[in-house]
Structures are given as C-alpha cells and as structure tokens.
Amino acid sequence: MTDTSPGSDPHARIAAAFGAHLPLAGVRLQGMAALISGAGHAGPHLGTGAATALLFAAQGASVALFDVDPERAENTARLIREFGGRCTSVAGDVRSGADCAEAVRKTTEAFGGLDVLMNNTAVALAGDINTVTDDIWDRTIDINLKGVMLLSRAALPHLAARKGAVVNVASIAAQQGFGTVAYAASKGGVIAMTRDMAYTAGSSGVRVNCIVPGHLVTPMGGAHDPVRRDIRRRATLLGVEGSAWDVAWAALFLAGPEARWITAACLNVDAGSPSQSSLNTLLAAQD
C-alpha cells in the first residue's frame, strides 16, 4: 500500500511545517528560471520571498535566492533541496548595482537564462512625517525602491530574451495611512515604477506586475505579537489571517502562463482589509 500521509512527501511536510494552505507540488513553472530577492528566512514564519521561492521550486522552476544574508538564503535552499528542487544562493545587497548585476549573471550562468524576477526585498522602519530621520528615509528608499530599479535594470535584457515576467511586491501602506512615511513612500513608488516599467518593457514582451499585500503573518508583519495578529484578523472581510503563502500563490499566477495577457496590474492580496477604515487606528492603539 502506498503511504500518502504528509510525512511521506517532503512537499507536504514543508507545507505543513510552515502553514501552507494548499499543496506545493506541481509543474506550472516547469523549465523556468527565477530570481527572487529577499528569499532567505531565519525563523518559524516564512517571509514572502522564502515562501515564493519554495513554491516556485516545487512547481518546477530553478530558483536563485538573492539575499544580503548568506545564512538566511541557505536556510531556504536546504528546504528546497529537501524535496529535490533546483536552486542556487546568491549573496548581495540590492542597493548595489554591482551586486544586482552579479546576481543576474550568476542566475543566468547557473540556469541558462531568466524567466521571472521577483523584487521582494524590503525594510519597514518606524517614523511618521514628524519623527522620520534622514537615515531611515534614505535606507528605506534605497532598499525598497532603488533596489527594485537596480535589479530590474540588470535583469530586463535577459527577461526580454525569454519574454519573461517581473513581479514586484508593494504594500497596502502605499494606499492608506499607517504612520510609516518612508515605507509608504517607497511602496507607492514601487506601484508607480511597476506601471512605468510595464510601459517600457511591453514592447520586448516582458510583463511587469505588482502584488500589494495586506498585513501578513511574516517576520516583518509582527508574527510575534498575538494581539496585533488578532486585530488584523478581525479587521479583514474574511476574518482570517494572511500569510506569506498568499503572496506566493499570487506570484505564481503572475509569473506563469495563465497571466500571459496581464501587465501593469496591481493585485491586492489583503482579504479586503483596506475597506476597514478602523484597522490602522486599532493597530496604532497597541503601540
């Protein structure tokens, strides 16, 4: 008799361990190569980059894990190798044009080309318009916005060769106030850049789209704080928490052939939370 329990399938074991709501295994990206920035992880909750890397690899893609911390990237790589996925780790800083170019070079050298770029690296540093420091502003804009430009600029010629796709990650912080002015500005810039990149890259057959996540259970999203998690869950229209997997499944759709006629689009993945105007007030009261 065939053992079909989760323990018998490494895809199922990883999905269960990290709270995936759907099975990982499939062939939707078979034969494709992807470069994902911010793809490392270091704790019990996956970030959006690590979850997407796992899902892409489980769906047949070869995945380059670009992260400023080599150890975090290797953590994700070990999980991918557990189910026989193909990946490579690339250390570097998205603020460096040279590092971005090197990440693209190593990816194309390892996999023979590039089909998908996911710009995922970000920091969310505190500070409203009255309290933000110059250093916080500059660091946030450099990582969250300039980094998208640098990595995209390096990748686009290779994506054009394969009529590939770019998936950027923004935030609902760009659409409603939360008192994090640098983060909001950077993510608003990502949305604007997505549309302008799509305008330029479309003639080369490259699609450029953006995911706009809501408040997720991720390391950046306060996974350690049960009070905030409960408030965010109740503030959604569906009454359930979002996780990094929700972004990963959206990225899989936008990267794959099902989205062949979609570009310059921004897909909100937030369970309707922006329509709940009290959310940010409730969250701010906990700070």
Q: What residue has token string 């909100």? A: 268
C-alpha separations of 210 from 55, 108, 214 in Å: 18, 23, 13
Closest by CA position to 240, among listed 273, 265, 213, 205: 273
Indicate if 183 belongs to the active site: yes
Confirm if 173 and 180 have CB atoms less than 8 A apart. Answer: yes
Q: Sort 42 into a burial class: Cβ within 10 Å, 0-12 / 13-18 / 19+.
A: middle
Range list of H helices, the chain: 10-17, 48-58, 70-82, 97-111, 134-141, 147-161, 181-201, 226-235, 244-255, 279-284
Q: Sort 113 into a burial class: Cβ within 10 Å, 0-12 / 13-18 / 19+.
A: middle
Phi, psi of 266 (to 5 degrees): -120, 115
**What's the CA gap between 100 and 112, in Å, rounded?**
17
**What's the CA gap between 73 and 63, in Å, rounded?**
11
DSSP one-letter code for 87? E
Q: Choose, from 56, 83, 183, 245, the residue flagged as catalytic.
A: 183
Closest by CA position to 79, among listed 104, 108, 46, 103: 46
Q: Catalytic residue positions?
A: 183
